[in-house]
């Protein structure tokens, strides 16, 4: 089954939050989500105090890409690199969550809008994991 974007009020809301955060240079806050103004999640989410990476991908990032903003792919890679290089444990945790979320997406769907290449991040993440 191919990923198909179905516009909902929630997805429109999250896309607007992300795009407004981007205007202010705060899009990384959508990935972290400790500030509830930028938190991306669903009512079925296991996460209440941080962003849910599944929701971020499916309701926000993929729809923005599908709607013609293809530069978001590089933007995501840049944010992931920044988060990986951070010493903030929550940012590192969210990168691990994003890796797992993409893994789930690729198992659920035969085709997703784009795939994030985490190859450059994995060695750094593993080193940080080993040193924690």
Note the pLDDT tens digit of each residue in 15-65. Answer: 999 999 999 999 999 999 999 999 999 888 777 899 999 999 999 999 999
Q: Is residue 116 part of a domain?
A: yes
Residue 107 lies in a domain: yes
Q: Is position 3 within any domain? A: no
Q: What is the pTM of this model?
A: 0.92
Count of CB atoms within 10 A of residue 114's CB? Answer: 16
Angle subtended at Cα 42 by Cα 39 and Cα 48, rounded to the nearest 5 degrees: 55
- Domain of 121: which CATH number? 1.25.40.520
Domain count, the chain: 1
Domain membership of residue 4 (yes or no) is no
- Flag whether 80 is in a domain: yes
98, part of any domain: yes
Provide the domain limits for residue 125: 9-131
């Amino acid at each position: 089954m191919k990923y198909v974007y179905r516009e909902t009020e929630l997805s429109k809301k999250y896309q607007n939050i992300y795009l407004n955060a981007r205007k202010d240079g705060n899009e990384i806050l959508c990935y972290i989500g400790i500030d509830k103004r930028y938190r991306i999640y669903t009512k079925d989410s296991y996460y209440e105090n941080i962003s849910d990476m599944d929701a971020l991908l499916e309701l926000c990032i993929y729809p923005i890409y599908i709607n013609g903003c293809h530069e978001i792919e590089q933007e995501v890679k840049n944010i992931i690199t920044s988060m990986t290089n951070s010493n903030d444990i929550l940012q590192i945790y969210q990168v691990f969550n994003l890796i797992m979320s993409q893994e789930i997406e690729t198992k659920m769907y035969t085709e997703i809008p784009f795939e994030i290449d985490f190859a450059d991040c994995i060695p750094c993440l593993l080193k940080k994991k080993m040193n924690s």
